[in-house]
């Protein structure tokens, strides 16, 4: 498939631009959000050979940048993990523009859909191709692909699991536009829309009077970074992996921490939780299993 004569301005990660080039698209300018990621050196080389231009973290609001993109005379703007708002002056440069978001829009619009999908206990997520607008993730839906959330995965693992379907959907929609297809645009249902902002400290602090399932979901949602956390004495412990305890002493209150033969156990609202992996707030060293007790000096043993 070739789409010479259908010029594209691309915004996002290096691998997305390389995929479009492999598919035969006429990528005139590639604006790269993360030039430190794999594929950047190859992208520069391929674009140079084709007479294209690569811009690393360009300011899309700057007049010179807008004029440079205008000179490419794009028919299509493609965004794949461009994480900043695209100014209206840039959106107006092409007849069409679309991006791919790693959620089933209109649910989980924003910077961290992985965290919020897991934290909410969702069993299914997916990726959505949508029309680009000046706001985040609110454009009409062009196509979606659904995926079951892998059992017990954390946010990083979910992000990796969505990478391939996200890239495939981006390539598919770009190809359809290049072939001259008219893709139906389905407005998002604002009544079903939910936001997915970057997680704050308040979002990541564990609340031990929550049910066990909710605590475990929050740990998975925040792992591995920034990590869910709990306070102990005057310290903060970042908890990266947990599992439900088979038994929990009834005398414990939510938030009580004890050391058992299985390891460190914390009481939640309806049962116990075993801390499998954790680290001190000021350390990158991950402690596992029975050694987690070192992070909670002085806790009683059962």
What was the pLDDT predicted at 292? 96
Closest CA to 283 of 238, 241, 240: 238
The number of domains in the chain is 2
Do 76 and 131 reside in the same domain of the chain? yes
Report the distance separating Cα 65 and Cα 59, nearest Å: 7
End-to-end CA distance of the chain: 67
Q: At CA 288, angle to CA 287 and CA 289, rounded to 5?
A: 140
> Residues with Cβ < 8 Å from 4, sequence gap 6 or more?
24, 26
Q: What's the pLDDT score for residue 261?
A: 84
Same domain flag for 68 and 98: yes
Q: What is the DSSP letter of 136?
A: T
- Name the residue range of residue 270's domain: 201-295
68-99: per-residue pLDDT in tens?
A: 999 999 999 999 999 999 999 999 999 999 99
Helices and strands, number each (H, E), in the chain: 8, 13
Whole-angstrom distance, CA of residue 268 vs CA of residue 281: 22
Domain containing 181 — which CATH number? 3.40.50.170
Cβ atoms of 10 and 18 within 8 Å: the answer is no
Q: How confident is the model at residue 262 (pLDDT cuts 50, 70, 90)?
A: confident
pLDDT at 2 over 50: no
Q: Check pLDDT > 50 for residue 208.
A: yes
Establish if 302 belongs to a structural domain. no
Q: Please tell me whether residues 130 and 262 are part of one structural domain.
A: no
pLDDT at position 302 is 81
- Paired sense of beta strands 3-12 and 76-80, if any: parallel
170 and 241 housed in the same domain: no
222 in the same domain as 152: no
Do 163 and 68 share a structural domain? yes
So what's the pLDDT on residue 1?
Answer: 44
Looking at residues 265-284, what average pLDDT do you find?
96
- Give the separation between CA 88 and CA 133, rounded to whole angstroms: 8
Residue 143 — pLDDT band, cuts 50, 70, 90?
very high
Q: Are 258 and 293 in contact (CB under 8 A)?
A: no
Residue 51 is assigned to a structural domain of this protein? yes
Distance separating alpha carbons of residues 45 and 17, to the nearest angstrom = 12
Q: Are residues 222 and 255 in the same domain?
A: yes
210 phi and psi angles, rounded to 5 deg:
-80, 160
For residue 197, how far is the Cα from the chain centroid?
11
The pLDDT tens digits of the residues spanning 180-207 come to 999 999 999 999 999 999 999 999 999 9
User: How far is it, in rounded angstroms, from Cα 178 to Cα 26?
Assistant: 10
Query: pLDDT confidence of 236, banded at 50, 70, 90?
Result: very high
Mean of all residue pLDDT scores within the chain: 96
Are 107 and 131 within one domain? yes
Q: What residue has token string 């829009």?
A: 105
Residue 250 has pLDDT above 90, yes or no: no
For the segment 23-53, what is each residue's pLDDT rounded down to a tens digit?
999 999 999 999 999 999 999 999 999 999 9
Per-residue pLDDT, averaged over 119-145, amounts to: 97
Query: Is residue 269's pLDDT more than 90?
Result: yes
Whether 231 and 207 share a structural domain: yes
Q: Would you say residue 4 has pLDDT above 90?
A: no
């Amino acid at each position: 498939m070739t789409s010479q004569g259908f010029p594209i301005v691309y915004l996002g990660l290096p691998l997305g631009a390389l995929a479009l080039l492999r598919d035969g698209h006429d990528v005139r300018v590639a604006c790269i959000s993360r030039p430190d990621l794999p594929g950047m050196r190859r992208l520069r080389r391929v674009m140079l050979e084709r007479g294209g231009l690569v811009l690393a973290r360009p300011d899309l609001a700057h007049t010179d940048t807008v004029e440079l993109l205008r000179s490419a005379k794009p028919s299509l703007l493609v965004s794949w993990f461009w994480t900043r708002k695209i100014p209206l002056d840039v959106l107006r440069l092409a007849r069409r523009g679309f991006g791919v978001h790693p959620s089933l829009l209109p649910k989980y619009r924003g910077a961290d859909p992985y965290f919020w999908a897991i934290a909410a206990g969702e069993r299914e997520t997916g990726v959505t191709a949508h029309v680009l607008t000046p706001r985040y993730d609110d454009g009409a839906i062009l196509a979606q692909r659904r995926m079951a959330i892998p059992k017990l995965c954390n946010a990083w693992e979910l992000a990796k699991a969505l990478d391939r379907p996200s890239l495939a959907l981006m390539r598919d929609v770009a190809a359809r536009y290049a072939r001259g297809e008219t893709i139906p645009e389905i407005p998002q249902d604002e009544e079903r829309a939910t936001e997915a902002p970057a997680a704050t400290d308040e979002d990541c602090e564990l609340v031990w009077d929550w049910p066990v399932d909710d605590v475990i979901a929050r740990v998975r949602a925040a792992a591995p970074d920034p990590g869910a956390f709990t306070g102990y004495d005057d310290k903060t412990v970042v908890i990266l992996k947990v599992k439900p305890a088979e038994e929990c002493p009834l005398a414990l209150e939510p938030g009580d921490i004890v050391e058992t033969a299985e390891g460190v156990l914390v009481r939640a609202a309806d049962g116990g939780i075993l801390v499998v992996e954790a680290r001190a707030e000021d350390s990158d060293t991950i402690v596992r299993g029975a050694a987690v007790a070192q992070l909670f000096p002085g806790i009683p043993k059962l």
